[in-house]
Chain A
């Protein structure tokens, strides 16, 4: 009898954290006109201390195809190795001047032998020294609870332990500072929802289209 009671109590104790781990944050991001915003990054950071990052994050790829970076926005956790395969016939010369990760991959075809490890949190802007219009962003998150919005403006972050979080949003065209989007939420199983309304600047990018100055872009 006592043994059964102990077993039941132990089973409950084991099952309780399992239930608590299965929360999902669903964030909806809209612009001030109410339109869904794609490629916005949502990050949830526990209020009571940093979340544990994976010991060895898996490699992520940012591909160069048709003289563009794909995807345009990539979310990784701190310490993630990122490979930059070039699937174009023309060579690319990838670089970043951003403080969290300065690097240069001199003109290359195929896949560079070593991935680039993004070891500090922050936003890293990528460019190509050959094709000035090519631009992409790597958001390096200090929390494993991060995702980017789809074309419907929805981002889903799974497997979030139920507790209090500071949640913030970032977008390449965000007007003002990312910290202004911060809000604290109590995440409860199975699902917590929140909405961001972001003021976005007009897109600024080197134009790719040809003009009447003939002779190509080189």
Chain B
């Protein structure tokens, strides 16, 4: 955790030094959100009998400060605190704290000017189920453009790491750090404003890297796994956590309504599909409704 925070801090200082930040030339942002989510495959299991679904309430607050060294550059630091509580599986209840540093440069003047951005996010999440506790680090670079007042697109490339605090091997000679994960991804998103109040958006990504899947013992998942451990969050002694290497394709769509310029009501749908070796394939779907308010 300390290492990732140090990395983000170094990144922020380096970017600030390069662009010559004037500490007085910025703007505060505060955003709060609260919502409900339903996920039909929290275990990320391939077999239908191993899938566990649940609903959760989650919310958070993000406090940020953006420095504006020029009319084309911004350097933003956002600190996020989040929490969530599940209905049937309280082991998944979590509280997290994180920080994001993002540098964005517009390449020309005007709303349709393309932009580039790089960001680093570090965080720590504490779950009620300790095996999931750990820090995360995500690096992301993006290129985007708003074509007019209604349509904006961007593409990005990212790398993520999750460091697990728990490493209790279940099988001799096989790691127990099932949440020690790393992966790289490509993503693209589009936003389309139907009118000044309604906005539709879509996002898709492809990620190659480690994933965690919880399922009953079977030969395929055992052969494919690089780490195995108990996963007590689902309160089923027959379920174990496996770390696999796979490719995850995801697609998300959402619809957002802004009753005024400070708030939005959002509903979204996320579909994920992961393929790992040994023919393992699982899908998950989630729907969420969220209220966001910006001060």
Please list the residues of chain A having a beta carbon within 8 angstroms of any beta carbon in chain B.
89-91, 93, 95, 97, 104, 106-107, 109, 127, 129-130, 132-133, 202-212, 214-218
Q: Please state if A210 and B263 are interface contacts (CB–CB under 8 Å).
A: yes
Residues A130 and B74 in contact in the complex (CB < 8 Å), given A209-B294, A211-B256, A212-B292: yes
Q: Please state if B149 and A214 are interface contacts (CB–CB under 8 Å).
A: no
Closest to A95 in B: B109
Q: Please state if B70 and A205 are interface contacts (CB–CB under 8 Å).
A: no
Among the listed A89, A205, A210, which residue makes an inter-chain contact with B27, where contact means beta carbons less than 8 Å apart? A89
Q: Please state if B195 and A203 are interface contacts (CB–CB under 8 Å).
A: yes
- 1/0 contact string of B143-157 vs chain A (CB within 8 Å): 000101110000000
Residues A215 and B100 in contact in the complex (CB < 8 Å), given A203-B195, A204-B150: yes
- 12 A–B contacts, CB within 8 A, in A order: A90-B26, A97-B109, A107-B25, A129-B109, A204-B149, A206-B146, A206-B149, A207-B197, A212-B254, A216-B294, A218-B74, A218-B76
In the complex, how many angstroms separate the beta carbon of A202 from the nearest chain B beta carbon?
A: 6
Q: Please state if A210 and B66 are interface contacts (CB–CB under 8 Å).
A: no
> In the assembled complex, which residues on chain A have CB atoms less than 8 Å from the CB atom of B110?
95, 97, 127, 129
Q: A204-B196, A209-B261, A210-B31 are in contact. List 13 more A-B contacts (CB 8 A).
A: A90-B27, A95-B110, A107-B70, A109-B25, A133-B261, A202-B195, A207-B193, A207-B199, A207-B258, A209-B260, A211-B254, A216-B78, A218-B64
Residue B201 CB within 8 A of the other chain? yes
> In the assembled complex, which residues on chain B have CB atoms less than 8 Å from the CB atom of A214?
31, 33, 60, 62, 78, 80
- 1/0 contact string of B95-114 vs chain A (CB within 8 Å): 00000101010100111010
Q: Please state if A206 and B294 are interface contacts (CB–CB under 8 Å).
A: no
Among the listed B71, B106, B258, which residue makes an inter-chain contact with A106, where contact means beta carbons less than 8 Å apart? B71
Q: How many A-B residue pairs have CB under 8 A?
A: 117
Dominant secondary structure of chain A at its interface with chain B: loop
Residue B135 CB within 8 A of the other chain? no
Residues A216 and B109 in contact in the complex (CB < 8 Å), given A204-B149, A206-B193: no
In the complex, how many angstroms separate the beta carbon of B31 from the nearest chain A beta carbon?
A: 5
Q: Please state if B263 and A209 are interface contacts (CB–CB under 8 Å).
A: yes
Closest to B199 in A: A207
- 1/0 contact string of B16-46 vs chain A (CB within 8 Å): 0000000001110101010000000000000
Q: Please state if A210 and B292 are interface contacts (CB–CB under 8 Å).
A: yes
Q: Please state if A211 and B199 are interface contacts (CB–CB under 8 Å).
A: yes
Q: Please state if A215 and B109 are interface contacts (CB–CB under 8 Å).
A: no
Q: Please state if A91 and B266 are interface contacts (CB–CB under 8 Å).
A: no
Once the chains are docked, how many angstroms separate the CA of A95 from the CA of B80?
33
In the complex, how many angstroms separate the beta carbon of A163 from the nearest chain B beta carbon?
A: 41
Q: Please state if A216 and B71 are interface contacts (CB–CB under 8 Å).
A: no
Among the listed B76, B201, B262, which residue makes an inter-chain contact with A211, where contact means beta carbons less than 8 Å apart? B201
In the complex, how many angstroms separate the beta carbon of A132 from the nearest chain B beta carbon?
A: 5
> In the assembled complex, which residues on chain A have CB atoms less than 8 Å from the CB atom of B209?
none
In the complex, how many angstroms separate the beta carbon of B253 from the nearest chain A beta carbon?
A: 12
Among the listed B68, B149, B197, which residue makes an inter-chain contact with A91, where contact means beta carbons less than 8 Å apart? B68
Residue B213 CB within 8 A of the other chain? no
Closest to A108 in B: B71
Among the listed B31, B113, B256, B262, which residue makes an inter-chain contact with A216, where contact means beta carbons less than 8 Å apart? B31
Once the chains are docked, how many angstroms separate the CA of A165 from the CA of B292?
52
Q: Please state if A218 and B263 are interface contacts (CB–CB under 8 Å).
A: no
Residue B166 CB within 8 A of the other chain? no
Once the chains are docked, how many angstroms separate the CA of A144 from the CA of B60?
54
Interface centre among A90, A109, A203 (most CB of B within 10 A): A90
Residue B247 CB within 8 A of the other chain? no
> In the assembled complex, which residues on chain B have CB atoms less than 8 Å from the CB atom of A216?
29, 31, 62, 64, 66, 76, 78, 294
Once the chains are docked, how many angstroms separate the CA of A216 from the CA of B102?
10
Once the chains are docked, how many angstroms separate the CA of A217 from the CA of B196?
16
> In the assembled complex, which residues on chain A have CB atoms less than 8 Å from the CB atom of B197?
207
Once the chains are docked, how many angstroms separate the CA of A217 from the CA of B295?
12
> In the assembled complex, which residues on chain B have CB atoms less than 8 Å from the CB atom of A211?
199, 201, 254, 256, 264, 266, 292
Once the chains are docked, how many angstroms separate the CA of A89 from the CA of B68?
12
